[in-house]
Each structure stands twice: as C-alpha cells, then as structure tokens.
Structure 1
C-alpha cells in the first residue's frame, strides 16, 4: 500500500502547475515557461474553436428581406408628444445584370479584392476584433463583402464580439448556400450610400438622377468611395467633404489599375471629378418646415454622444425624446417669416434677394436647445442655418474679447480670447486664424453655439454643453451615453458680471423701452452698420432664455457671402434694414413668448 501511495503522490506532484515557478528568485518566478505559454495558447485556441462551433451551430439564415420591414424612427417634443415619424427605407432592388461591371470592379477593388476567391470571411478581421476586445476598444475590423452583406441584412450594427462571431458564422453558411454573384447582388441592394439611399439604384438616382445601369466608370468610382461613409464623402455637404471625396475617388480609380481591373490608358482619361447633383428635395414631406432641421440636430447629437452612425440611425427602430419646445419653434418660425415679409422686398430690390436667416434658442440653466430656425423649409433649403458655421460673427464677438481682457489683463493676446470663446461654448474649428483681424469677429460660429456661449455670461460664468436629446430607446432598450451634460465654471462670477453689465448697456442702446420692460434684464451683443463683416447678428440673453439671430446673403451655387449693403432699403455704404433685421426678429420673438 505504501509504494502505491507514493506513486499516486508522485503523479500528483508531476501534474501540479508550477506557477509561480519554483527554483526561481524575485520577479523571475512569475515569468511563465515556454511550455506554460504553449499550453495557454492551445487552451485559448481550443476555447475559441468551441465558441465558434457553438455559434455556428446556433445561428440561422433568416428572411433576406428583413431590411424592408425596418421600423421608423419616432421623434418626440420635450413634452413627450410626437413630433414626427421618419421611416421608409429608400431602396429598390435591381438584378446584378443591371449593375455595370465598372461599378462592380470599383467596389470589389476597394472593399474586398479577394471577393471571388475568399471563403466569405477575413481571419485578419476576426483577429483584429479579438485584439480590440482584449484592449477594451470597439470590436471592428476589415470585413469582406460577404460579411458586410450579412451585417446589413441579418444583424444589428453593434460592435461586440458576439455580433462579430455571428457575422463570421453566417458569412460561412451564406457562402455555402449562395453563389458569389447572388451575394454581390444582395450587397449592392442593401449597402448605404448616404443621402438616405440604401442600395445602388437609390444611390444612382440620389447622386446623379440616373438608373444604376447608366453609371459610367467615373461616377461608379464615386459611389464606390461613398461606401466608406456616405456622411463623410458626400461632396455637396462642404468643401472638406468635397476634398475627401476627390481623394477617395482617385484612390478607387488607381486601385482598379493596381489590381488589373482597369488599364492605365483608360485611367488617364478620367481626370475630371464627376460632380453629383446637389442634394435634392426628395426628403419625406414629414420633414418639411423646421422639422427636418430639428431632426438633423437631434441625429448629430445622438451620433456624437453614442457613436451610432448615420447609416445605423437610418435603419430605424429608434424612439427619440428631444429638448425642443414646440411652441417656441413655431413662434420663432412665425416671427422670422413675419419680420422678413415686412422688411424685405425681393421683387423690387435686388439687394433683398438671397437673404437667409438662422436663429436658435438655448436654456441657460442647463444648455438645452429649445428652438431653431434653420431656413424656410428643410425639404427645399438643405443647409441648416441655425447649426451651420461659415458666417462671420463680427462685433457680436466683443464680449469674449472683453472677458479675456478682464480675466487676464488688458494685454490679453489673441490666443487668450480664443480660449475664452471656446470655454464659453464655441467650437474650436469655427475659430478664425489668430491674426490681427481675429478680435474683429472673423470667426464663424453657428447661431446655436452663439446662443449657448452668451448663456455662459447669463449664468455667472458657468458653462453647460449643449444637448438636444434626453433619451433614446431601440427596441425597448435605452441607449447609453445620453445623460445630461454637467456644468463647469469657465469664468469667475466677477468677470462674467462685468461682461453682462457691458452687454446690458448694449441692450439698452439697441432695444426699445417697451421691449426692455417686457423682458427685464437683458445682456446682448450685435453687429452694427459699420461692421466690416458681411453678416448681421443680434444675440441676447435673459436668465430664462438665450437667443441668437443671424442674417446673411448667400446665393446657391456661389462661393462666399454676398454684400449686405442696401438690404432692407439701406443706401450708400449702410446696411440699412439688413442690420436691424436680426434685432427685429429677436425682440419680436422674445417679447411674444413672455
């Protein structure tokens, strides 16, 4: 019996995991041996194989037309009543035979060069997903066309390892059940190209007004470029978007030459960027008036705070509670329309043509966006004048100059002024170059940002970041990342108080006595008739509401702003009625809502 016990004890000792390692001193005891590392690697691979096998056996290929039943997105006013339901997917399936080879080659060259030979998945992409998960980062990686088709059709867009594994397993199953041509056809019909276009047929119409089968190589290259992000590469959105689109377009063409899809001689013929047509008014009529601008602001806020993409939001199923006050939005729209109708005569005065207005109201207490005026109609005037930078703020920028001087002394440089403006709520990218003209208001913040920044002075130097959405649910589950922003003290109360006193003097000079009596204490800033900037502003805040109004001239298709001289009947070098337009809108609106 004793020898048997000894043999059992000996085997137990032999199978004991030698960690920390005996016979080693200090930190060396905790360095695994190569055998231990090999065992860990084998165990990890085995566990992964078991996991993949389980997922593969449980996933099912369901109805390939699931996207056709996508739910609408429903947006709600601040009081919980429904604002709008936006939903129908803009998609029309076409056979692969209607998709020109030039477009097929462009997409395969840039999205998945090995499409016709790979098994439907990318091991490198899966490895990258595993590494990202281990790092605590987003689970994303280079996916094949088959994987992208699976994600578009069968899965959600969430970035998790579970979704990535299901994507891989479904891709393998799909590759065994469908031909490469069927998969490619499905991919073209479910991919998102921006402009609310799902599928290549909708994209061809949205960008060029033609059917997909009429696309040539240059236009096909742009649509292929858009697959990297329709909200990033649509050339009509901004100059920066246009530059990105051109660079990507050239890459798509060059990549086809590199892979043998296109000859160098053919590539040499494509030198002119195929400008798409402007974004059309093909938006749902439910987005007419101010609704489209409000939805745009809400969507941008959700994307910024949650990481959702425009494509993911466009697939629907979200319930979105906004901060927008219906009564204020409607009153602001009525006021702008009434004041411009009384002041402008576009038929009789050329200077009154192409005048545009942008306005926004923010609650100083917490940074909630309560109202916007983005233009006459979101389905006809695409740019959101309330939330678009590009209009110089002029002398309405002076409160930030004054605050910098009070905080850091009279010798505060240009850089200090910029920091104060950004701390108060203006975006760094809207700041002008730090040259001699900077303090004269060459920066181009949006109206909603100016309203927010002036609110900082009204709250004693305490700034709260803007927010436009209070809650979002998807299929009954709340989205994270939408908690209300916290406030922070960016100016001491004494400095903020002195700036407010100076701004109150400006308000007294600008506003009629009856307006001041109706509103109580008002802090305001504005541009004047002698202001060098080609725009007119009036921004004013009370303790309850901060509102910014801007007026400018910008003809569609023209680069830059037009002169404001003579707008509203002014003569000579004066801007006349154009200069008082924002003041009239602001005072009429603010007194009406009291």
Structure 2
C-alpha cells in the first residue's frame, strides 16, 4: 500500500498518512495529540498566507477602507459644522505691491486697484453665458462643487504634483472673495465646505455676478467692467458675445492671452480658447449655430498702462511679476491665471536684482547712441525703431539692468522680452558650441575647430554626404571668401560656412545645445535655415545664452527677482545658476573665438576702437536679419553680459518693418547693422558700467584669444573688409566714421589653416539677395 498511500498523499497536497503503531493507532507524537495533523495543515498552506498574507487579508483591507471612509465623512461633517461663510471683501484684501532696487531704494509702488463692481443685470445675458460656457457648463444645475476635481486637486497637492484639479464657478468665486489662491489641504477643504454653503444660501445669479466681478483679467483689471474698458473701451453693458467670449477666455491665462503682448503661440491658444467658448455656447443652446459661423475674433484695443509705471518702471515690474508668478506655479501648483491673481495687487514687497547705477547707465547709453538721433517728424522710419536690452551678471545670474523701450506708457510690449524677431548671426556661436561639445567632424572626417578650413563661397549649396540639401545662403554683398578658417568665418559672419557646419554637426544636435544654453526651442524645427538665426528670440534669451558661455558652460537663467515677501511669508526664487550644460573647454573656446569678432571682425569699429575700452577684453557677436528688420550685438566681459537688439515695428499695425534709412542713413544701402548702433549702445553702457578692467580666464587651446604658437598662413585676401549682412555695403552702413573698421581684418596666428576645405566649392546660380527656398524662411541670418 506504500505506493498507493504516497499517491493519495500527493493528491491531498503532499501529505502522507501517519505511520501506524503496533496497536493500529498513529504512532506517538504524530497523531492529534502530537500535533501531526496541525503541522501538516500548516505545511500545506501557501507561503503567502504566512506573515504578510495574514496581515493583509481582504477583510482587513475592506475594513480599513470603510474605516477611512467613515473617518473622512466624520471629518467633513465636523468641518461643515465648524466652518462658516466668512466675511468677504475683495477690495479690503487687495493691497499695493512695492518694488525696490537691489540696494533697497524704492523703484515703484503700484497705485489703486482698477475695479468697479457692476450688477449682473447690466451684463448682457449672452456675455453671462460666455463665462459659464468657458468655465462650468453645469453651473446652473450643480451643487456648487466638483467633487472629482476637488479630490484630484487634493491628491495632487498631497503628492506634490502641482497639477491643478478642476473647480466650479462657485469654488472660484469663493477663492476670489473669501479665501485666496494658496494650494494647501486646509484651504481646499475650506473651499469645498464654503462653496456648498454659498450654493445653498445664494442664488446662481448672485454667485455669477460675484465671480465675474472678482476675477482678474490682466492689464491690471479686476472685474468685468474694468476688463471691458481695458480691452475694448466699452462698458460691460455694451459688450457683445464675441468680446465676452474673449474676456472669458482670458481667465485661463490673462497675460499669455493678452493680444498686445502674446507670442504667436499665445495668440493661437487665445483663439482656440475663444472658439471653445463659443462652440460650448452652441452645444448648450445659448447661441445659434448659423450666427456662430459668421463670428470673427474681436481683436482687443491697445492697452493703456496704469500711471506710476512710466519710463522703464513698467517693463521691470512686468518681468518681476512674471518670474514671481512662474515660481508660484512651480511651488504651489497654481494655474497661470491663479498665479497672476495671486501677485497683482496682493501686497507683495518685491526686491529686484536691478542695480540702480547700471540701470541708469543703460538708459543713458540708449539715449546718447540712438534715441537722441531719431526724429519721426522728419523720417517716418525713425518712428519704427524699437530698442531692447538686457544686462546680466554671469556669476550670479542676476539681471542688473534692462531696457524695454522708450516708455512703458507709450509702448506696452517690452522689447527686452519679446521673441518675435530673428537673432540672426548672433546664433552662429551656438553652432560652433555644438560642434566643439560633440567633437564633431566635417564630412571628410576632420575635427571642427577654430582653424578648420571651410569653403566660403557665397550661395554655395550645402552638402549632406554628397547630396545637396537645397539650401545655399548668400553672404553679405554676395561676397566670396574662398577657403577660410572657422575663426575668420566667425569674424566676418560668413553664412555659407555656418550653413555647412550646421549640417556637419547635425541640426538636431545644434538645436539641442541651443536649448541647453537657454534658448526656448519648444516647437522649433531643426532645419538648415536655423543656422542663420531664423527663429525668434529675445534679448533676455540671448543674454542668458551668452552668460552661460561666459560662465564657462554652467547654465545661467537670468533672474530679476531678488526676494519676494507677502505679510508673514516669503518666496524662495530658484537658483539662477544651474548645472554644467556644455564642457568648460567648449564654452571657453567659443569665447576665445568671439574675441576675434571684436578685434578683427564686424564689431571692431564700434567696440575695439572705442576710447572707453581701456584694454578691456571683450567677446561678442553681431547680427542683422533679412531686410534689416532687426539688428543685434550680444557681447560680454568676464563680469557683464549684455544683449542689445533693435527692431523695426510699425507703431500702428505692429508689423515688422525695415530699419534701413533710420537716423538719416541712405535708404536701402544705409542699413543699420549689428556692428552699428547696437554695438555702440553696448560699448557705451558696458565700458561705463563694468568696473575694473579684466581678462577672461579661459581653458581653451584655440581661438583668437589664445597666444599663437606657430606662424600664420593666411589663405584669404587681407584686403577684404569685415562683413556682416547679406546685402550691406560696408562704407554706407556706417552711422559714424568710427564704425568703419580702421584696419583690414587679420588672421590671428593661432588660426593656421592647416587643413583642406571640408567640401569642394559647389557651383551656384547667380543671386543678388536672399534665396526663395522654403528652407530659408525670411532670414539671411547675418
């Protein structure tokens, strides 16, 4: 029976019958008295039932869940009984913000809050429906709270994700009127309880009236009446459904959607939100579908900035508010709209990094070198010239001076932060940085370095491993340079060289490095035309990128806010100095090369020969875009980085226009290039504000700043003058005699062209201007 017993034991889970004693009973110590069956049962249990398995049974899990639910319900009941609707008065909560210079002296104090309460009966019914369609379609039938959205918001707060959960119009009104925008568990629970009670005690009409009268719409406007005047110059009672839909759309992100300052992306999002509101109106039966199809987007009027922000104050305040809002969004998980409402008129004491003396020096430099020479009454084009500049301390990342335009009350959009003009050839150092950082090689296998030789033939078709890519940008004046080094190509801003280098490095890699240096590359295509700086960028962005180079490759994010305090709390701003994004050798080599632009290239007339220089070592790059619509100089010393941009903008239509002919230069040929007024402003400001003369501490083995070790061999003609833009004639570009280079460009001895060109010169079709190729969108890149 032994085998049969074994088989039966296996069928019972591996247990075998206990052996029998002489009396036929189980042997002592093995039967029930001896615990044999209990031991067998324990042995037969799955391993998971031991320890943890017995601790987490389904009954215990269910019991715990029910217990937590009961605890939550009990807590909510207690809160509902304890928390009552507080006294609400938004005007009493709103206070002026105080802004200070870095030394603590007062820069500005915001004035009275722009708000006028209106009765809901004075707001057209269609406009009322705009807000309901935008924010809370079930407003008229819900209980005042969105339990799912609130639960999601609580979980996000607990997990630190910072993503904002949904909320009803009633909840938003409660935040605006009774509470604040803080994202804490306590505040959210209070919001839930108060919202339920408000919905029970107030009519939907009163709640809606409270909501549209307490919300922030941007442009310093609180409430629908102030917003109607700020955006359309009408009273709330005269708004139409299209205008109401735009004001309702603004609630999501007032500054981003403000048509006067919005980027192309911001305008696109604003229109999408506007369409969303009107489409919801149709779905709710509040708007006729046929009428909806005939509606056009109602472009708002130009803003009228509040008094007290004249001159540069408004630009400084706007950037300070923006950066504080971004920090609150990051720290507290606020939406952009909530963050703006949490900053504007909320009693903040904000100290800026702006150095009072440097700020004054920058304003004086712009006036002395540019605005004093403009006369719109004599020349229409003079009224189209806009200047912007940002100056940064590369070691701290602090914005020490900023120029946003002639006057914030006259030109609302800050030229220091606008991103709608091309940086042109000021982007070329990024291509070189990408090549050096990636140890890139030409397509015939040679390392790309300062002394690498390229073909500088104008219009030369770019080649990608033997295949022409359909891109051949002309050089300035269609000038051919033959075989030249990268150093000389940077000095003279030769388009054909950097177009080919971009392909050699790989445009994906180039744009990746641009992002690391600090450019906002979101949505940008990695196409060959970007080698000419055909994307949009701001002086703030360019100053940050060059500051990262000056800081030996450690990322610099320019920051204007030094500290921000509100009542008993303060906000800690993020460290402007980040991690090493490119190697020190790569960054320092680019700096070394850029000293050649000043000493032997397109910036020598305004910077190298400036009598205030006094031996100061300088690196920088000029840039002038297609049709002379923008002109740049971004340069730096070891302790100060400043980007200056001039932009052509029609003051009425805001369309981009040419700078050519401004200040009395001969129209067409007398263009303003980067080596002209931008470099003059830079030099005037920098050499007065920089402090002691200093030298770069470079870990570089190549470039114009490195001492020569061998005798030079120059391949290009020494008689060629430095060039910068595709169509500028050097003699006629000069705004003053000092802008014309006093010496012919010389090859720095360290840049011995010891290698063959990367490609043989390609035949090209004759051209006298920019290519019409779609790969070259409106940019010559110089």
**TM-score (normalizing by structure 2):** 0.68
Distance 1:135 1:514 in 2: 57
Secondary structure of 2:282's counterpart equals helix
Question: Which of 284, 293, 301 does residue 315 from structure 2 map onto?
Answer: 293
Q: Aligned in 2, Cα 1:340/1:350: closer, same or farther, shift over 3 Å?
A: same
Map Cα deviations across residues 429-455 of structure 1 (whole Å, 9 max, x no partner). 4x8543332222223221122222222
Name the structure 1 match of 2:487: none
Name the structure 1 match of 2:162: 138
Map Cα deviations across residues 542-583 of structure 1 (whole Å, 9 max, x no partner). 111111111121113446521232233333643445551111
Mapped pair 1:128 → 2:219: no
Mapped pair 1:336 → 2:366: yes
Secondary structure of 2:555's counterpart equals strand
Aligned-residue offset at 1:385? 0.6
Distance 1:224 1:525 in 2: 44
Map Cα deviations across residues 105-162 of structure 1 (whole Å, 9 max, x no partner). 2222332233333332222233323433454433742222221111101111011221
Distance 1:456 1:31 in 2: 56
Map Cα deviations across residues 237-280 of structure 1 (whole Å, 9 max, x no partner). 23322222222222222212222223334434x422222212x2
Q: Report if the CA contact (8 A) 1:67-1:153 is conserved.
A: no
Distance 2:322 2:594 in 1: 32
Name the structure 1 match of 2:278: 253
Secondary structure of 2:165's counterpart equals coil
Name the structure 2 match of 1:89: 113
Mapped pair 1:548 → 2:570: no
Secondary structure of 2:505's counterpart equals coil
After superposition, residues 452-471 of structure 1 pair within 5 angstroms as 452-471=544-563
Name the structure 2 match of 1:154: 178
Aligned-residue offset at 1:173? 2.3
Map Cα deviations across residues 481-500 of structure 1 (whole Å, 9 max, x no partner). x1423443333333333322
Question: Which of 391, 416, 420 does residue 509 from structure 2 map onto?
Answer: 416
Aligned-residue offset at 1:87? 4.8
Q: Aligned in 2, Cα 1:341/1:190: closer, same or farther, shift over 3 Å?
A: closer
Name the structure 2 match of 1:263: 288
Query: What runs of 5+ residues in structure 2 fail to find an aligned partner?
Result: 1-43, 441-447, 449-503, 692-782
Mapped pair 1:589 → 2:611: no
Q: Aligned in 2, Cα 1:550/1:109: closer, same or farther, shift over 3 Å?
A: closer
Q: Report if the CA contact (8 A) 1:568-1:577 is conserved.
A: no
Distance 2:220 2:667 in 1: 46
Secondary structure of 1:546's counterpart equals strand
Distance 2:375 2:132 in 1: 54
Q: Report if the CA contact (8 A) 2:423-2:537 is conserved.
A: yes
Distance 1:267 1:573 in 2: 47
Q: Report if the CA contact (8 A) 2:86-2:178 is conserved.
A: yes
558-567 or 92-101, which deviates more? 558-567
Mapped pair 1:397 → 2:427: yes
Aligned-residue offset at 1:368? 1.0
Distance 1:169 1:459 in 2: 52
Aligned-residue offset at 1:45? 1.6
Question: Which of 490, 511, 525 does residue 581 from structure 2 map onto?
Answer: 490
Distance 2:550 2:290 in 1: 64
Distance 1:398 1:262 in 2: 53
Q: Aligned in 2, Cα 1:96/1:476: closer, same or farther, shift over 3 Å?
A: same
Distance 1:458 1:108 in 2: 51
Distance 1:233 1:351 in 2: 30
Name the structure 1 match of 2:590: 499
Aligned-residue offset at 1:189? 1.1
Name the structure 2 match of 1:522: 618
Name the structure 1 match of 2:238: 214
Q: Aligned in 2, Cα 1:333/1:108: closer, same or farther, shift over 3 Å?
A: same
366-375 or 512-521, which deviates more? 512-521
Q: Aligned in 2, Cα 1:326/1:62: closer, same or farther, shift over 3 Å?
A: same
Q: Aligned in 2, Cα 1:210/1:436: closer, same or farther, shift over 3 Å?
A: same
Count of aligned residue pairs for this structure pair: 567
Distance 2:360 2:555 in 1: 27
Q: Report if the CA contact (8 A) 2:628-2:659 is conserved.
A: no
Distance 1:535 1:262 in 2: 45
Aligned-residue offset at 1:516? 6.4
Q: Report if the CA contact (8 A) 2:552-2:588 is conserved.
A: yes
Secondary structure of 1:547's counterpart equals strand
Aligned-residue offset at 1:74? 1.5
Secondary structure of 1:452's counterpart equals helix
Q: Report if the CA contact (8 A) 1:503-1:524 is conserved.
A: yes
